[in-house]
Amino acid sequence: MDRRLFLLGSMIAALGCSSRRGEPPLKELYGDAGSTEQPPLIVIPGAFGSRLLDTRTGREVWPRSSAKLLFSSYKGLEVEIDESTLDPLPGAIRPYAVFRQGLGRDFYGQMLETLEQVGGYRRRNPGAKIEPGERNYYVYLYDWRLDNVAAVAGLHDLIERIRSDYGDARLKVDILAHSNGGLLARYYARYGVSDLSVTTGSPSFLGVPAIRRLLLVGTPNLGSMQPVLSHIRGEEVGLRKVPRDIVATIPGAPQLMPHPAIPWLVDTAGDVIDRDVFAIETWRDFGWSIFDPKVRERTIQRKGGGKKGRRYLGMLELYLARHLARGRRFLELIAHDADPRDIKPFVFGGDCEATLSRLVVEKQRRQWVAREQASDVANPMPGVDYDRLIREPGDTVVTRDSLMGSYSKTLRAGFAPIPELSIAHSVFLCERHQFLTGNAVFQNNVLHTLLNLQSPVSGDYRRSKVEMVG
């Protein structure tokens, strides 16, 4: 999500009146679209997009109240760890609802309302009786703190339950996925529910028969710098941060980091620092994440102090190393060579905002410091354009290159070119990452893609061109 997800200023601005001038008249455009037969639609939110509940206490863990969003310590987001296997444990935390809005800002609420009020879709849960001619949608809720492949298994289960409700074992669904949700859908299409540890590397395409159309919204197909920042200085939410030792327990974060072939660090001269973001040695050598002395001491004390706290910290180091390696594997599999059997997604995203693409590293007071702003470079070199070096066009979280799954710049030494993502059509907006789904022009194009392209519900995916409508 965005570097500062819930800015107080954004909240205040959103509480005021905003003009609807220039927005497409969706009801007029799609009022007659109810007669076209459509398969069930699955909406997959991104990271932070599912509300989380502690079933032991009945209390919400995320996002809780507006006050908690602004001022919480966010320690409730910590993932329990199986010390013997180094696997994450869901514990008593369960996803139970979609994050529709918070602090006066919309996240998924407006999109769902548009699907219902304009698109003619009806919200359904698995197990509901299906009537002939209904146009239904489902929201796939998952614990975004956990491993993405575990979430893929839940997506498969949802599709099978929908097929059972429809009485059609070969039914295809449409999928509308935001951010990390798009990576879940793409992995499922290519590898089914196979785990990273057993997947050979060649796609099996086990999920392809279940999908008619795949719509990706702000999906980081080549990763994002946001989870890197979260490990370096904590994930900024509201006016505080999710602590780095808590972030280190979230195995889904490394699966969103930049593809291993993409340079992510440069020095003050603008030269690439060839370090692997997925190698635990990189984090140890730079003193970042749980290797920051202050974080280490805090973690030891938080986990009981002394021998007990040091044992936990040692286990956390092994755990982070394991899940960094899984993150590398996940990105490599997602970017595997294109194949005619792939589903060509429809891609929607922003490219008007300066978006972090790499960090400038310099040493200060015997510590390595990562600079994400050109103005923060303490010892700038003459003639180096740090703004251009650090940022690229995107949506503040995902660069245009990552969205399109294409990277034509210089790669890290020893890496082959990254295979390009084969896309059915792309639509670009001037919108920030977390607000893409609420953008009326985006909603117009999504409805156009879902409702105006004629393709049999149970037939083959039809390669169709979508013209952007605004």
User: For 50-62, what is each residue's pLDDT tens digit?
Assistant: 999 999 999 999 9
Q: Quick check: is 456 in a domain? A: no
Using 50, 70 and 90 to split pLDDT, how confident is the model at 241? confident
Convert the pLDDT of each residue in 274-314 to its tens digit. 999 999 999 999 999 999 999 999 999 999 999 999 999 99
Report the share of the chain in percent with pLDDT over 90.
77
Cα–Cα dist 18/13, whole Å:
9
Q: Which contacts (CB < 8 Å, 24+ apart) does range 153-161 have?
A: 153/193, 155/42, 155/44, 155/184, 155/185, 155/188, 156/188, 156/192, 156/193, 156/207, 158/42, 158/126, 159/42, 159/210, 161/126, 161/127
pLDDT the model gives residue 459: 32
Q: Is there a domain that residue 467 lies in? A: no
* β-sheet bridge partners, residue 41: 137, 174
State the total domains in the chain: 1
- d(Cα 406, Cα 335) in Å, to the nearest integer? 10
Residue 200 vs residue 447, higher pLDDT: 447
Residue 346 lies in a domain: yes
Q: What is the mean pLDDT of residues 322-337?
A: 95
Q: Tell me whether the omega of the peptide bond preceding residue 63 falls within 30 degrees of 0, making it cis.
A: yes
Phi-psi domain of 366 (left: phi exceeds 0; alpha: psi -120 through 50; beta: other): left
What is the predicted pLDDT for the residue at 336? Answer: 87
d(CA 280, CA 327): 12
pLDDT of residue 31: 77
Q: Please check whether residue 413 lies inside any domain of the structure.
A: yes
pLDDT over 70 (residue 352)? yes
Residue 455 has pLDDT above 70, yes or no: no
In this structure, is residue 377 part of a structural domain? no
Q: Which of 159-163, 407-411, 446-450, 460-464 has the lowest mean pLDDT?
A: 460-464
pLDDT at res. 97: 96
- Contacts of residue 365, defined as CB under 8 A and 6 or more positions apart, other chains included, come to none
Q: What is the DSSP string of 233-253?
A: H-EEETTEEE-HHHHTT-TTG
Element (H, E) at 333: helix 306-334
Question: Rounded to 5, what percent of the chain is helix, strand, coil?
Answer: 35, 20, 45
pLDDT (0 to 100) of residue 467? 47
* pLDDT at residue 131 in the model: 87
Residue 368 domain-assigned (yes or no): no
pLDDT in tens, 138-181: 999 999 999 999 999 999 999 999 999 999 999 999 999 999 99
Does residue 302 sit within a domain?
no
What is residue 132's predicted lDDT score, i.e. its pLDDT?
Answer: 86
Q: Find the helix packing angle between 180-191 and 148-166, rounded to 10°.
A: 70
* Count of all residues that appear for the chain in the document: 470
- Looking at residue 149, which CATH number applies to its domain? 3.40.50.1820
The residue-averaged pLDDT of 357-373 equals 95
- Distance (Å, whole) CA 403 – CA 81: 32
6 versus 352: which is more confidently predicted? Answer: 352
pLDDT at 393: 97
Give the mean model confidence (pLDDT) for residues 363-369: 92
d(CA 211, CA 174): 6
Q: State percent of the chain over pLDDT 70.
A: 90
Q: How many CB atoms lie within 10 A of CB 398?
A: 30
User: What tokens appear for 250 in the block?
Assistant: 């979230």
Q: Give the strand order in the sheet containing 265-266.
A: 265-266, 359-364, 367-371
Q: Whole-model pTM?
A: 0.91
Domain interval for residue 88: 8-259+331-354+393-451
The reported pLDDT for the residue numbered 13 is 35
- Mean pLDDT over 218-245 rounds to 92
Residue 325 lies in a domain: no
For residue range 83-141, what is the model confidence (pLDDT) as tens digits?
Answer: 999 999 989 999 999 998 876 688 899 999 999 999 999 999 999 989 888 899 999 99
396-440 confidence digits (pLDDT tens) = 999 999 999 999 999 999 999 999 999 999 999 999 999 999 999
- How far is it, in rounded angstroms, from Cα 86 to Cα 149? 16
